[in-house]
Amino acid sequence: MLKVEQLSKQIDRQTILDGIDFTVESGEIIALVGRNGAGKTTLLRTMVGIIRPDQGDVLYGTKSIFKDAGLKRDVIFVPDSADALKHYTVNEATDLYESIYPSFNRSVFRETLTRYNIDNKKIRQLSKGQKALVTLSLAFAVQAKYYLLDEPTDGLDVVAKSDVLKLMIAQVEKRNCSIIVSSHQLHELERIADRIIMIENGRVKAILSLEEARALSIKWQVVFNDHVPVELLERKDIEIISVTGRVVLFMAKERTEELEAFIDSYNPMLIEEIPMSLEDVFRVQLGGEAHVV
Amino acid sequence: MLSKVLLKKDWKQVSLLWILLVFLGIVAFTVPVWTQMQVYEEQIRDMQENPSDYSDILREDVETMNTEDFFNSNSDYGYLGGLESLIPMGIVIFLFVIFGALMASVLIGSERNSQMSDFSMSLPYTRTQLYISKWVIGSTGIVAATLIGGALMFLIIRLSDYSFLLDGNEVKVLGLIVFLLLSGISFFSLSLWMGSFGGESISQVVWTFVALVFPMGIVALIQGSLIAFSPNLSYTLFDEVFESVPMRILSPLNNIVNTEMYSIFDSRAEWTEFLTIGLSSSIAFIVLTFGLGLWMFKEAPQENNGRFFMFSNWLWLIHIVIVICFAMLGGVFFSGIFYPQSVMLYLVGFFIGAFLAHLLAKRLLYRFNLRLKS
Residues B274 and B331 reside in one and the same domain = no
A78-92, A99-113, B153-167, B357-371: which has the minimum mean pLDDT? B357-371
CA atoms within 13 A on the CB side of B158: 10
Residues A77 and A207 reside in one and the same domain = yes
pLDDT at B76: 57
Residues A228 and A187 reside in one and the same domain = no
| Separation of alpha carbons B207 and A262, rounded Å | 67
Closest residue on chain B to A78 (Cα):
B119
Residue B198 lies in a domain: no
Residues A232 and A171 reside in one and the same domain = no
Instruction: Compare A216 and B210 and report the one with higher pLDDT.
Output: B210
Cross-strand partners of A180: A30, A148
Residues B167 and B287 reside in one and the same domain = yes
Residues B360 and B290 reside in one and the same domain = no
| Separation of alpha carbons A57 and A64, rounded Å | 7
Residues B158 and B218 reside in one and the same domain = no
Mean pLDDT for the stretch of residues A157-162: 84
| Separation of alpha carbons B179 and B185, rounded Å | 10
Query: A136 vs chain B: nearest CA distance in angstroms?
Result: 14
| Separation of alpha carbons B238 and B285, rounded Å | 21
- Tens-place pLDDT, residues B219-242: 999 999 998 888 777 778 888 898
- A92 and B116: CB-CB below 8 Å? no
| Separation of alpha carbons A252 and A239, rounded Å | 6
The percentage of chain B sitting over the pLDDT mark of 70, rounded to a whole number, equals: 94
Residue B202 lies in a domain: no
pLDDT at A237: 83
B/e letters for B254-292, b = 16+ CB within 10 Å, e = fewer, are bbbebbebeebbeeeebbebbbebbbebbebbbebbbee
Instruction: Evaluate if residue B22 carries a pLDDT over 70.
Output: yes
Residues A157 and A42 reside in one and the same domain = yes
Helix and strand totals (H; E) in chain A: 10, 14
Q: What is the band of B369 on the pLDDT scale with cuts at 50, 70, 90?
A: low
- Tens-place pLDDT, residues A1-51: 899 999 999 998 899 999 999 999 999 999 999 888 889 999 999 999 999
Cβ atoms A148, A42 nearer than 8 A: no
pLDDT at A293: 31
pTM over the 0.95 mark: no
What distance lies between CA B295 and its chain's CA centroid?
A: 23
pLDDT at A31: 92
Query: A102 vs chain B: nearest CA distance in angstroms?
Result: 11
- B124 and A100: CB-CB below 8 Å? yes
- B312 and A73: CB-CB below 8 Å? no
Residues B89 and B223 reside in one and the same domain = no
Closest residue on chain B to A77 (Cα):
B122
The percentage of chain A sitting over the pLDDT mark of 70, rounded to a whole number, equals: 98
pLDDT at B373: 45
Q: How many CB atoms lie within 10 A of CB B232?
A: 5
Cβ neighbors of A28 (< 8 A, separation 6 or more) are A172, A178, A179, A194, A195
State how beta strands A55-60 and A2-11 pair.
antiparallel
Query: B129 vs chain A: nearest CA distance in angstroms?
Result: 10
Instruction: Compare A282 and B134 and report the one with higher pLDDT.
Output: B134
Q: Which residue in A9, A41, A84 is closest to B119 by CB distance?
A: A84
Residues A123 and A228 reside in one and the same domain = no
Residues A199 and A236 reside in one and the same domain = no
Residue A282 lies in a domain: no
Instruction: Compare B104 and A165 and report the one with higher pLDDT.
Output: B104
Cβ neighbors of A269 (< 8 A, separation 6 or more) are A223, A224, A225, A246
pLDDT at A291: 38
Q: What is the span of the domain harbouring residue B333? A: 213-243+303-374
Instruction: Evaluate if residue A89 carries a pLDDT over 80.
Output: yes
pLDDT at B73: 63
Q: How many CB atoms lie within 10 A of CB A260?
A: 14
Q: How far is CA B128 from CA A48, A98, B133, B232, in A?
A: 17, 22, 9, 51
Return mean pLDDT, chain B.
Answer: 89
Mean pLDDT for the stretch of residues B20-43: 94
| DSSP strands (E only) in A129-177 | 146-150
In 3D space, the residue among B182, B199, B8, B4 whose CA is nearest the CA of residue B110 turns out to be: B199
- Tens-place pLDDT, residues B282-314: 999 999 999 999 999 999 999 999 899 999 889
Residues A115 and A28 reside in one and the same domain = yes
Residue B272 lies in a domain: yes
Q: What is the band of B143 on the pLDDT scale with cuts at 50, 70, 90?
A: very high
Q: Does A36 touch chain B (CB under 8 A)?
A: no
Residues B10 and B144 reside in one and the same domain = yes
Instruction: Evaluate if residue A288 carries a pLDDT over 60.
Output: no
Instruction: Evaluate if residue B78 carries a pLDDT over 70.
Output: no
Mean pLDDT for the stretch of residues A227-232: 88
pLDDT at B77: 55
Give the relative orientation of helices A128-141 and A158-175 as an angle to the nearest 10 degrees: 10
Q: Does A12 touch chain B (CB under 8 A)?
A: yes
Q: What is the span of the domain harbouring residue A235? A: 218-275
Residues A55 and A92 reside in one and the same domain = yes
CB-CB neighbors (< 8 A) of A182 in chain B: none
What distance lies between CA A5 and its chain's CA centroid?
A: 19
Peptide bond into A53 cis (omega under 30): no
- A52 and B302: CB-CB below 8 Å? yes
- A71 and B5: CB-CB below 8 Å? no
Return mean pLDDT, chain A.
Answer: 89
- Count of domains forming chain B: 2
Give the relative orientation of helices A106-115 and A128-141 as an angle to the nearest 10 degrees: 160
- Count of domains forming chain A: 2
Residues A77 and A160 reside in one and the same domain = yes
SS3 A200: strand
Test mutation, B110, B114, B119, B130, chain A, max A CBs within 10 A: B119
- B118 and A79: CB-CB below 8 Å? yes
Mean pLDDT for the stretch of residues B132-148: 97
The percentage of chain B sitting over the pLDDT mark of 90, rounded to a whole number, equals: 64
Q: Does ipTM exceed 0.90?
A: no
Q: What is the band of B33 on the pLDDT scale with cuts at 50, 70, 90?
A: very high
- Tens-place pLDDT, residues A71-80: 999 999 999 8
Cβ neighbors of B36 (< 8 A, separation 6 or more) are B81, B85, B86, B88
Residue B251 lies in a domain: no
Closest residue on chain A to B8 (Cα):
A96
CB pairs under 8 A between A and B: 69
Cβ neighbors of A8 (< 8 A, separation 6 or more) are A15, A17, A18, A19, A20, A53, A54, A55, A56
Instruction: Compare A234 and A214 and report the one with higher pLDDT.
Output: A234
CB-CB neighbors (< 8 A) of B129 in chain A: 69
Instruction: Evaluate if residue A161 carries a pLDDT over 70.
Output: yes
| Separation of alpha carbons A202 and A220, rounded Å | 30
Residue B249 lies in a domain: no
Residues B161 and B239 reside in one and the same domain = no
Residue B197 lies in a domain: no
- A83 and B114: CB-CB below 8 Å? yes
Residues A37 and A157 reside in one and the same domain = yes
Q: Does A60 touch chain B (CB under 8 A)?
A: no
Residues B73 and B128 reside in one and the same domain = yes
Q: How many CB atoms lie within 10 A of CB B72?
A: 15
Mean pLDDT for the stretch of residues A238-260: 89
Residues B313 and B296 reside in one and the same domain = no
Residues B261 and B361 reside in one and the same domain = no
Closest residue on chain A to B304 (Cα):
A11
Strand A14-24: give its sheet, edge to edge: A14-24, A2-11, A55-60, A63-64
Q: Which residue in A48, A84, A99 is closest to B115 by CB distance?
A: A84
Residue A289 lies in a domain: no
Strand A178-182: give its sheet, edge to edge: A75-78, A146-150, A178-182, A29-34, A195-200, A203-209
Residue B232 lies in a domain: yes
Residues B127 and B262 reside in one and the same domain = yes
| Separation of alpha carbons B18 and B99, rounded Å | 9
Instruction: Evaluate if residue A292 carries a pLDDT over 60.
Output: no
Residues A271 and A205 reside in one and the same domain = no
Q: How many CB atoms lie within 10 A of CB B42?
A: 10
B/e letters for B140-164, b = 16+ CB within 10 Å, e = fewer, are ebbbbbbebbbebbbebbeebebee
Instruction: Evaluate if residue B374 carries a pLDDT over 70.
Output: no
Residue B248 lies in a domain: no
Q: What CATH number does residue A107 fall under?
A: 3.40.50.300
Query: B156 vs chain A: nearest CA distance in angstroms?
Result: 40
| Separation of alpha carbons B202 and B215, rounded Å | 21
Query: A50 vs chain B: nearest CA distance in angstroms?
Result: 5
Residues A204 and A226 reside in one and the same domain = no
- Tens-place pLDDT, residues B79-103: 677 788 889 999 999 999 999 999 9
What distance lies between CA A260 and its chain's CA centroid?
A: 32
Q: Does A84 touch chain B (CB under 8 A)?
A: yes
Residues of chain B whose beta carbon is less than 8 angstroms from a beta carbon of chain A are 4-5, 8-9, 12-13, 114-116, 118-119, 121-126, 129, 301-303, 312, 373-374
